Structure 1
Amino acid sequence: MVARALRALVILACLAVLPPALAPWAGAPVGSVAQAQVSPAPGAPAQGLSEAEYAQWETLARRAEAAVAEPDTTTLSLEQLRGRISDWRARFLAAQDVNQARIETLRSQIDALGPPPGEGESEAEDIAQRRQELNAQLDELRAPQLAAEEAFRRAEGLVSQIDRIIGERQADALLQLWPSPVNPANWPAGLDALAGAASALWEELDSALASPTRRDELGDRLPAILAYLAAGLVLLARGRHWMAVLGQRLRARARTARVERLLELAMSLGQAALPFAGLLALIAALRATGMVGLTGNALVGALPLAGLALFAGYWLGGRIFPADEAARPVLHIDPEHRREGRLHATLLGLVVAIDMVRQALLSPAAQSDAANSVLVFPLVLVAGALLFRVGQLMRRHPAAVRAENQGDESAAGFTDRLIGMGGRAATIVGLFGPVLAAVGYVAAAQAIVFPAVISLGLIALLMTVQRISAEIYGVIMRAPDEAEDALVPVLIGFALALLSAPVFALIWGVRDAQLLELWQRFRGGFAIGETRIAPSDFLLFAVVFAVGYTITRILQGALRSSVLPKTRMDKGGQNALVSGVGYIGIFIAALLAINSAGIDLSSLAIVAGALSVGIGFGLQNIVSNFVSGIILLVERPVSEGDWIEVGTTMGIVKAISVRSTVIETFDRTDVIVPNADLISNSVTNWTHHNLTGRLIVKVGVAYGTDTRKIERILTDIAEAHPMVSLKPEPYVLFRGFGGDALEFEIRVILRDVNFILKVHSDINHEIARRFAEEGVEIPFAQRDLWLRNPETLWSGQAGDRGPRPPGAEVATAREARGALTAEDMAELSSGDSDTDSGGDR
Structure 2
Amino acid sequence: MSLILRRCLGVLAALVLLAGVAFAQSEDLDYGAWDEVATRAEQVLGDNDATDSALEGLRQSVVDWRERFLSGQGINAPRIDTLQAQIDALGPVPAEGETEPEDIATRRENLNAQLAELQAPGLRAQEAYTRADGIIRQIDTMIRTRQTDALLTLGPTPLNPQLWPAALEEVLSAGSSLFDEIRSDLASEVKLAEARESLPLILLLLALAGLLVIRGPRVMRGFGERLRASTRRGTGVWRFFVSLGGILVPLAGVMLLVAAVQTSDLPGTQGSELLQMLPAWTFLLLYIRWLAEQSFNRDPEVATVPLADRQRTEAWLYASVLAVLFVLRDVGETLGELYNFTTATMAVLDFPVLLLCALMLFRLGHILTLLREPQAEGEETSPPSLRQQVARLLGRAAMLLALAGPVMAAIGYNAVGDAMVYPAIQTLALLALVLVLQRFVNDVYTLVSGKRAEDSDSLVPVLAGFALMLLALPGLALIWGARTADLLEIWTRFREGFVLGDTRISPTSFLTMVAVFGVGFLATRLLQGGLRSSVLPRTRLDLGGQNAVVSGLGYVGIFIAAVIAITAAGIDLSSLAIVAGALSVGIGFGLQNIVSNFVSGIILLIERPISQGDWIEVGGNMGIVKDISVRSTRIETFDRTDVIVPNSDFVSGTVTNYTRGNVVGRVFATVGVAYGTDTRKVEQILRRIAREHDMVLMNPEPSVVLARFGPDGLEFEIRAIIRDVGEKLNVLSDFNHMIAQRFTEEGIEIPFAQRDIWLRNPETLYDRARATPPAPATQEPEPAAAAATAPQGSGRDPSAGISETHFVGPEDGGDGR
- Residue identity matched to 2:347: S
The one of 72, 93, 117 equivalent to 2:70 is 93
Describe how 1:349-388 pairs up with structure 2 within 5 A: 349-363=323-337, 366-388=340-362
The one of 427, 438, 444 equivalent to 2:410 is 438
Decide whether aligned partners of structure 1 residues 798 and 183 sit closer, same or farther in structure 2, where only a CA change above 3 A counts.
farther
Other structure's SS at 1:586 match: helix
Describe how 1:278-297 pairs up with structure 2 within 5 A: 278-292=253-267, 294-297=269-272
Decide whether aligned partners of structure 1 residues 106 and 595 sit closer, same or farther in structure 2, where only a CA change above 3 A counts.
same
Other structure's SS at 1:826 match: coil
Identify the residue that residue 509 of structure 1 maps to in structure 2. Answer: 481
* CA positional deviation for 1:299: 2.4
Identify the residue that residue 312 of structure 1 maps to in structure 2. Answer: 287
Q: Deviations over 1:803-837 (max 9, x none)?
A: xxxxxxxxxxxxxxx978488213999xxxxxxx9
Report if aligned partners of 2:759, 2:787 keep a CA contact under 8 Å in 1. Answer: no
Describe how 1:507-546 pairs up with structure 2 within 5 A: 507-546=479-518
Q: Deviations over 1:145-179 (max 9, x none)?
A: 11110000000001011101111111111111111
Decide whether aligned partners of structure 1 residues 719 and 822 sit closer, same or farther in structure 2, where only a CA change above 3 A counts.
farther
CA distance in structure 2 between the aligned counterparts of 1:55 and 1:497, rounded to whole angstroms: 45
* CA positional deviation for 1:536: 2.1
Report if aligned partners of 2:18, 2:491 keep a CA contact under 8 Å in 1. Answer: no
The one of 381, 387, 402 equivalent to 1:408 is 381
Report if aligned partners of 1:261, 1:327 keep a CA contact under 8 Å in 2. Answer: no
- Residue identity matched to 2:8: L
Q: What are the ranges of 5 or more consecutive residues in structure 1 without an aligned counterpart?
A: 13-26, 802-817, 830-836
* CA positional deviation for 1:233: 2.7
* Residue 60, structure 1, aligned to residue 37, structure 2: yes
Report if aligned partners of 2:163, 2:348 keep a CA contact under 8 Å in 1. Answer: yes
Q: Which moved more, 1:389-398 or 1:283-292?
A: 283-292
Report if aligned partners of 1:197, 1:362 keep a CA contact under 8 Å in 2. Answer: no
The one of 760, 770, 778 equivalent to 2:732 is 760
Identify the residue that residue 400 of structure 2 maps to in structure 1. Answer: 428
* CA positional deviation for 1:260: 5.0
Normalising by the residue count of structure 1, what TM-score does the alignment of the two structures yield? 0.88
Identify the residue that residue 336 of structure 1 maps to in structure 2. Answer: 310
* CA positional deviation for 1:516: 1.2
- Residue identity matched to 2:287: A
* Residue 795, structure 1, aligned to residue 797, structure 2: no
- Residue identity matched to 1:70: D
- Residue identity matched to 1:424: R
Report if aligned partners of 1:484, 1:490 keep a CA contact under 8 Å in 2. Answer: no
Decide whether aligned partners of structure 1 residues 259 and 628 sit closer, same or farther in structure 2, where only a CA change above 3 A counts.
closer
- Residue identity matched to 1:337: Q
Report if aligned partners of 1:703, 1:839 keep a CA contact under 8 Å in 2. Answer: no
CA distance in structure 2 between the aligned counterparts of 1:209 and 1:662, rounded to whole angstroms: 90
Identify the residue that residue 825 of structure 1 maps to in structure 2. Answer: 787
Q: Deviations over 1:714-766 (max 9, x none)?
A: 22222222211222222122222111111221111222111111111111111
Report if aligned partners of 1:232, 1:279 keep a CA contact under 8 Å in 2. Answer: yes
* Residue 233, structure 1, aligned to residue 210, structure 2: yes
Identify the residue that residue 322 of structure 2 maps to in structure 1. Answer: 348
Describe how 1:136-215 pairs up with structure 2 within 5 A: 136-202=113-179, 204-205=181-182, 208=185, 214-215=191-192
* Residue 127, structure 1, aligned to residue 104, structure 2: yes
CA distance in structure 2 between the aligned counterparts of 1:827 and 1:106, rounded to whole angstroms: 97
CA distance in structure 2 between the aligned counterparts of 1:246 and 1:789, rounded to whole angstroms: 105
Identify the residue that residue 5 of structure 2 maps to in structure 1. Answer: 3
CA distance in structure 1 between the aligned counterparts of 2:733 and 2:130, rounded to whole angstroms: 87
* CA positional deviation for 1:786: 4.4
* CA positional deviation for 1:641: 0.5
* CA positional deviation for 1:472: 2.8
Report if aligned partners of 1:4, 1:506 keep a CA contact under 8 Å in 2. Answer: no
Q: Deviations over 1:782-816 (max 9, x none)?
A: 12334463112223555499xxxxxxxxxxxxxxx
Report if aligned partners of 2:234, 2:446 keep a CA contact under 8 Å in 1. Answer: no
Report if aligned partners of 1:235, 1:275 keep a CA contact under 8 Å in 2. Answer: yes
* Aligned-residue identity in percent: 49
Q: Which moved more, 1:748-757 or 1:674-683?
A: 748-757
* Residue 40, structure 1, aligned to residue 26, structure 2: yes
CA distance in structure 1 between the aligned counterparts of 2:269 and 2:581, rounded to whole angstroms: 70
CA distance in structure 2 between the aligned counterparts of 1:509 and 1:539, rounded to whole angstroms: 31
Identify the residue that residue 777 of structure 2 maps to in structure 1. Answer: none
Q: What are the ranges of 5 or more consecutive residues in structure 2 without an aligned counterpart?
A: 774-779, 792-799, 805-817
Other structure's SS at 1:150 match: helix
Q: Deviations over 1:572-620 (max 9, x none)?
A: 1111111111111222222222222222222222122112212331111
Q: Which moved more, 1:151-160 or 1:457-466?
A: 457-466
- Residue identity matched to 2:662: N
Decide whether aligned partners of structure 1 residues 105 and 196 sit closer, same or farther in structure 2, where only a CA change above 3 A counts.
farther
* CA positional deviation for 1:781: 0.7
Decide whether aligned partners of structure 1 residues 211 and 108 sit closer, same or farther in structure 2, where only a CA change above 3 A counts.
farther
Q: Which moved more, 1:174-183 or 1:205-214?
A: 205-214
- Residue identity matched to 1:89: R
CA distance in structure 2 between the aligned counterparts of 1:157 and 1:98, rounded to whole angstroms: 22
* CA positional deviation for 1:673: 0.5
CA distance in structure 2 between the aligned counterparts of 1:402 and 1:259, rounded to whole angstroms: 25
Decide whether aligned partners of structure 1 residues 612 and 712 sit closer, same or farther in structure 2, where only a CA change above 3 A counts.
same
Q: Deviations over 1:641-676 (max 9, x none)?
A: 001011211111111011110111111111110000
The one of 55, 75, 78 equivalent to 2:55 is 78
Decide whether aligned partners of structure 1 residues 823 and 321 sit closer, same or farther in structure 2, where only a CA change above 3 A counts.
farther
The one of 196, 199, 208 equivalent to 1:222 is 199
Report if aligned partners of 1:654, 1:664 keep a CA contact under 8 Å in 2. Answer: yes
Report if aligned partners of 2:758, 2:787 keep a CA contact under 8 Å in 1. Answer: no
CA distance in structure 2 between the aligned counterparts of 1:828 and 1:159, rounded to whole angstroms: 99
Report if aligned partners of 1:106, 1:134 keep a CA contact under 8 Å in 2. Answer: yes
Other structure's SS at 2:636 match: strand
Decide whether aligned partners of structure 1 residues 153 and 451 sit closer, same or farther in structure 2, where only a CA change above 3 A counts.
same
* CA positional deviation for 1:203: 5.0
Decide whether aligned partners of structure 1 residues 213 and 98 sit closer, same or farther in structure 2, where only a CA change above 3 A counts.
farther
Other structure's SS at 1:339 match: helix
CA distance in structure 2 between the aligned counterparts of 1:309 and 1:719, rounded to whole angstroms: 93
Report if aligned partners of 2:442, 2:453 keep a CA contact under 8 Å in 1. Answer: no
Other structure's SS at 1:397 match: coil
Describe how 1:475-486 pairs up with structure 2 within 5 A: 475-480=447-452, 482-483=454-455
CA distance in structure 1 between the aligned counterparts of 2:45 and 2:329, rounded to whole angstroms: 34
Identify the residue that residue 647 of structure 1 maps to in structure 2. Answer: 619
Decide whether aligned partners of structure 1 residues 727 and 439 sit closer, same or farther in structure 2, where only a CA change above 3 A counts.
same
Report if aligned partners of 2:291, 2:429 keep a CA contact under 8 Å in 1. Answer: yes
Identify the residue that residue 615 of structure 1 maps to in structure 2. Answer: 587
Other structure's SS at 2:370 match: helix
Decide whether aligned partners of structure 1 residues 634 and 407 sit closer, same or farther in structure 2, where only a CA change above 3 A counts.
closer
Decide whether aligned partners of structure 1 residues 667 and 424 sit closer, same or farther in structure 2, where only a CA change above 3 A counts.
same
Report if aligned partners of 2:707, 2:717 keep a CA contact under 8 Å in 1. Answer: yes
More helix by share: 1
Identify the residue that residue 271 of structure 1 maps to in structure 2. Answer: 246
After superposition, the CA RMSD in angstroms is 2.8
CA distance in structure 2 between the aligned counterparts of 1:485 and 1:239, rounded to whole angstroms: 40
CA distance in structure 1 between the aligned counterparts of 2:587 and 2:108, rounded to whole angstroms: 41
Report if aligned partners of 1:316, 1:461 keep a CA contact under 8 Å in 2. Answer: yes
Identify the residue that residue 391 of structure 2 maps to in structure 1. Answer: 419
* CA positional deviation for 1:425: 1.9
Decide whether aligned partners of structure 1 residues 153 and 274 sit closer, same or farther in structure 2, where only a CA change above 3 A counts.
same
Identify the residue that residue 370 of structure 2 maps to in structure 1. Answer: 396
The one of 663, 666, 669 equivalent to 1:694 is 666
Decide whether aligned partners of structure 1 residues 377 and 210 sit closer, same or farther in structure 2, where only a CA change above 3 A counts.
same
CA distance in structure 1 between the aligned counterparts of 2:790 and 2:465, rounded to whole angstroms: 82
